[in-house]
Every structure is written in C-alpha cells, then in structure tokens.
Amino acid sequence: MEEPKPEDFGLTSDLIKKFEDIEKENGKPPYAGGVQVIAMFFFLLVGGLSGDEIIRIFSLLLWAIFAAVFYFYCKIIAKNRMNRFPDSYGRFKSKKYDFIHQRNRLNEEKIRVEKETQKLQREESRKTFEYWTTIDPYKFESEIALLFQKNGFSASATKGSGDGGVDIELQIRSKKGVVQCKRQKTKVSPGVARDLYGTMIAGGYDFGFVVCPAGFSNQTFEFVKGKKIRLIGLKRIVEMANQDSPLIFLNFD
C-alpha cells in the first residue's frame, strides 16, 4: 500500500499543512487565546486600580460577559473554517489514516516475527554443546538457576569466590539443596562430586546437583550411587529448558 500524496487529491503540501494547523487549533483563530488573556488583565487592572468595590465587581462582570461572547464567537468562526475544508482533504485524511494504520500493523507484525525468531534461535542455541560451554561462567550459573526456577525450585546463585563450592542454593518445600556448576569441555571427575558431598554434610543440605554440559566420568557416576546427588549433563539441561511437566530426575522424594 503506497502512502497517499496530496497531488493525487488535487491538493498541495502547503495547503495540507494549513488545514492541519487549523485543525490543531480546533478551527479557532490563532489569536483567540491571546485576546482572552489581554482582556482579562485589562478588566482586572481597571478593577484593581479602582478603590470602589462596585467598579471592581462591574469590571469582573464585564470580563465574564466578554469571555462568554468571545468564546461563542470563536466557536462560530471555528465551525465556518472547518466547513470550508474541501471534500478532497477529507478523502486524503482518510487514506492517510488507513495507510498509517496498516503501516503500524505491519511494523508490529514484523517486530513480533523478529521476537519469535530470536526466541526460537535462543531455544535452539540452548540445545547445543557450544552454547553451554562458551557462555560466561557467571551467566552459566544464572541460566542454570533460572532452569531450576522453571522447574519449581526457589533458586539463588551465590556471588562467586568464597562460595565454599556452592554455586546455587535451592529450596523446594521444606528441603534445601545445593548445585555445583562446571562450565567445562571435559567430563567431571569424582573429586567434584566428593567435594559437593562434603559441602552437603557440612551445610546440612538435603540434596545436591552437579551440572556440566560435557558429562561425567564413570567413576563420578559410581561415587554418587546411593547418595542424594544427581548429575545433570547436556541432555538433562535441554530437558529442563524445554520441560512441560515435572521432571522425575529432579525429584528426591
């Protein structure tokens, strides 16, 4: 849809601007407001300079009468000025409104599609090993915390150094847990799981998770057997990001 041009309606740009300026003033003469203000100050000045109470009241009454008459006079002028707009201007305005409305609707649709595309791209990137092993370590921890929140946990990432091996603290119902995040490209060794287990005992945590997109060594799987520690690799991370129902592997009940 092409933007309508004044020439298509037998008008000019200057004439369109003139009509638009008249409409902005609601058809009133451009000097209307100034005349009312000047008249008000004149009558107030006359009344103020007079020491006679009757003259003061009479001045205010004259100003009120003048304001009312001038108001209706401007209304009549406005109506006449608006009535002098040619029909072609009305048709131009209608076409211009339709054009702007359609353009805004198309822009909104474009923005919506772009947002949906970006969302799908983010979701697809979260399924890749490269994404989870190349993002900033602190962003990795905050993203994992969000995934736990999405799955029903209260999760808060710790502030980095001095965290005692605790990257994320979890709470679900009356139980509290701890998460150790490893954003690395090699499988996690059992030492990490042993450190986490010690942290759980020392801190009185009910359960723990080790999260690493690269996976875990066989010895690490052996160590966590019988303990309330779960190992979350790339496949599980993606499941947490795309879950539509409670995930069994996150449940310790």
pLDDT tier at 131 (50, 70, 90 boundaries)?
A: confident
The confidence band for 134, taking pLDDT boundaries of 50, 70 and 90, is confident
User: How far apart, in whole angstroms, are the C-alpha atoms of residue 27 and residue 25?
Assistant: 5
What is the per-residue pLDDT across 146-185, written as a single tens digit (0 to 9) for each?
889 988 899 988 865 444 568 999 999 899 999 999 988 8
Residue 56 vs residue 230, higher pLDDT? 230
Q: Which of 75-79, 199-203, 205-209, 247-251 has the lowest mean pLDDT?
A: 75-79
H or E element that contains 38? helix 32-49
**Binning pLDDT at 50, 70 and 90, where does residue 197 land?**
very high
Predicted TM-score of the model (pTM): 0.56
Q: CA 102 → CA 16, 95, 116, distances in Å?
A: 21, 11, 21
Average per-residue pLDDT for the chain = 83
3-state secondary structure of 224: helix
The domains located in the chain, with CATH, are 6-117 (no CATH), 137-250 (3.40.1350.10)
More confident residue, 191 or 240: 191
Confidence of residue 248 (pLDDT cuts 50, 70, 90): confident
Dihedral class, residue 160 (left if φ above 0, else alpha if ψ from -120 to 50, else beta): left
Q: How do 229-232 and 207-211 pair as beta strands?
A: parallel
